[in-house]
Amino acid sequence: MRSRTFLAVAASAALLACSDIHFETDATYRAPRGGFDLVIHATGVVPAGADLAAHATADVHVAPTSHGRGFDVRATLPTTAGAPRIADLIRDAGYDAPAAELDEANVVVDLALRGSKATLVQGQTKALQVVSVRFRYQ
C-alpha cells in the first residue's frame, strides 16, 4: 500500500514538472529623471522543459510621477513586425528621459514578457528603480 501511494505521488510530481507553466507578472519600475512609472502586467506560458516564455502579452501603463500624460500600450511576444518600442512611445508622449532610462524601459518590458526567470527585480536595474514585482503561477 505504501509503495502505491509513493508511486502515485511520484507520478503526480513528474507530471507537474512536465507541464506548461502559466504565469502572471505585475511589476512597477520608476524612471526618476524621466518622471514616469512603468506598470507592467504580463501573462504567458513557459512551455514544459523551457526556462522562458515564447508567447506572452503585457499590458503596460506609463504614468507620470509629476507632470505629463499617461498612456497604455500592449506588448506581445513574439513581437509584431513594425510594433513601436516602449521607449519611442515614451519619447513621443513628451517625457524627457535620459537614454539609459529609455533603453532600460525597453528591456524591462521585454524581460517581463519572458516570465519570472527573466524579469528584473531589486538590484538588477541600473537606470530604473524597482518599485514592486510580484509573480503568480497557475
pLDDT band at 1 (very low <50, low <70, confident <90, very high): low
Contact by Cβ (8 Å): 116, 123: no
- The alpha-carbon radius of gyration of the chain (Å, integer) is 18
Pick from 6, 26, 5: nearest CA to 108: 26
pTM of the model: 0.85
For 73-117, write each residue's pLDDT tens digit: 999 999 888 888 999 999 999 999 999 999 999 999 999 999 999
Instruction: Return the half-sphere exposure (C-beta side, CA atoms, 13 A cut-off) of residue 124.
Output: 13
Residue 118 has pLDDT above 50, yes or no: yes
Q: b or e along 66-76 (b: 16 or more beta carbons within 10 Å of the residue's beta carbon)? A: eebeeeeeebe
Peptide bond into 64 cis (omega under 30): no
Which one is predicted more confidently, 138 or 128? 128
Summarize pLDDT for 16-71 with one digit per residue, the tens.
457 999 999 999 999 999 999 999 999 999 999 999 999 999 999 999 998 888 99
Q: Which sequence spans correspond to the domains of the chain?
A: 20-137
Alpha-carbon separation of residue 120 from 17, 28, 84, 95, 109 (angstroms): 24, 10, 21, 23, 10
50 contacts 35 by C-beta, under 8 angstroms:
no
